[in-house]
Amino acid sequence: MRHLSLVGIIANPDSGRDIRRVASHALVVGNQEKANIVARVLLALAAVGVERIAIMPDHFGIGLRALRELANDPTVQAATSLIDMELEGNQRDSAAATRWLVEQGAGCIVVLGGDGTCRVVAKAAAATPILPISTGTNNVVPAFVEATIAGLAAGYVALHSGQDPAATCYRHKVLTVYVNGREADQALVDVALVAARFTGARAVWQPGLVRQVFVSRAQPTSIGMSAIIGVIRPVGLHDPWGATATIGTGSNRVLVPIAPGSLLPVAVDDVQVMNPGERHPVLAGATAALALDGERELIVGGDDQASVALSLEGPWLVDVERTLGLAVAEGLFRRLGAAMGGRPSLQTLPR
């Protein structure tokens, strides 16, 4: 029995709204604009023939607003529904929605958010491909890809969900945190040891509190903790290694784009390479917090022994350019154009 193609959409209504935005001149993607983004994704998914689309509900109603904008599109309306789930109003909603989509056999999950949202979804996504669209504060993983293009790529991936994901996706690296020998959590881009006895505001934007950082990738073109290493010793997306450094004790001071609109000097010790599978110890001492992808998540006590290891086998992320290149080679757009004849290709969204 053939399963209907399914694409999930998870739009975080709280992404890009933390203290780093308040303290800078950063771009803010409001929830109405997120609804517009979702609407454009829906149009593209319907155009390529995705049969089922499931959207995570939220307290703002991003999915409902998107569907109202497309009330006159019967194809979108027939294919799309909201996931039936209880809302907690926090990151557990994204995790629960992801698990539901995986159980339902989704071929791709479109994620609107920043690195933190992508991290939560990736932890629950198993082998299901993810296509992140940037609407958050730290945006190393998600890209500023036009939603129409993202929808086309996600639809193609879902319609070919039975094939090897390596044809349309790449494997992102992941950092695993161990506390007292047990796996405690994961991050996609960076883990930072922060001098704090409680999580407080979860976002980290003051480098003076950072004592150590571990990265899976690091570029001077990135914003956030990973940039501390990125401005000294860049680590590429596909490099089979990561890096770590101690912060605040070295004489090597560098200027770091630590948050949108915030460029600050940071003292960095020598950067060390992290090879896959090696557990690198977290500095021992007083109670501190571990920030994962820019947000404080774990508290480690002075007697705890923590470490971080790099793995090359993280989540599958859609390579949009490669995917649409395959779609062109396959003649997808020619077939769709011929099938639509003289009809308009896509509904025009209201201004």
Give yes or no for a contact between 32 and 65, defined as CB atoms under 8 angstroms apart. Answer: yes
The two beta strands, 108-113 and 130-134, are parallel
C-alpha 116/C-alpha 131 separation (Å) is 14
Domain span(s) for CATH 3.40.1280 in the chain: 6-171+319-340
C-alpha 56/C-alpha 67 separation (Å) is 13
Q: To the nearest 10°, the Cα dihedral for 50, 337, 43, 49? A: -10
Closest of 253, 258, 133 to residue 192, by C-alpha? 258
What is the mean pLDDT of the segment spanning 262-270?
Answer: 89
**pLDDT attached to residue 351:** 40
What is the mean pLDDT of the segment spanning 240-255?
Answer: 89
- Other C-beta atoms within 10 Å of 331: how many? 11
C-alpha 171/C-alpha 188 separation (Å) is 11
pLDDT band at residue 139 using 50, 70 and 90 as cut-offs: confident
Q: Is the pLDDT of residue 37 over 50?
A: yes
C-alpha 201/C-alpha 204 separation (Å) is 8
pLDDT band at residue 308 using 50, 70 and 90 as cut-offs: very high
Domain span(s) for CATH 2.60.200 in the chain: 174-311
**Percentage of the chain exceeding pLDDT 90:** 74
Closest of 180, 147, 195, 171 to residue 43, by C-alpha? 147
The CATH class, in words, for 6-171+319-340 is: alpha beta
Mean pLDDT of the chain: 89
Edge-to-edge order in the sheet of strand 174-179: 182-187, 174-179, 306-311, 279-281
Beta-strand (E) ranges in 216-261? 242-259
What is the mean pLDDT of the segment spanning 227-253?
Answer: 92
What is the mean pLDDT of the segment spanning 31-45?
Answer: 96
**pLDDT attached to residue 339:** 87
The CATH class, in words, for 174-311 is: mainly beta
**pLDDT attached to residue 327:** 97
Q: Which residue has the higher pLDDT, 340 or 219?
A: 219
Closest of 151, 152, 161 to residue 128, by C-alpha? 161
C-alpha 202/C-alpha 183 separation (Å) is 21
Residue type, 124: A
Q: To the nearest 10°, the Cα dihedral for 33, 35, 36, 41? A: 130
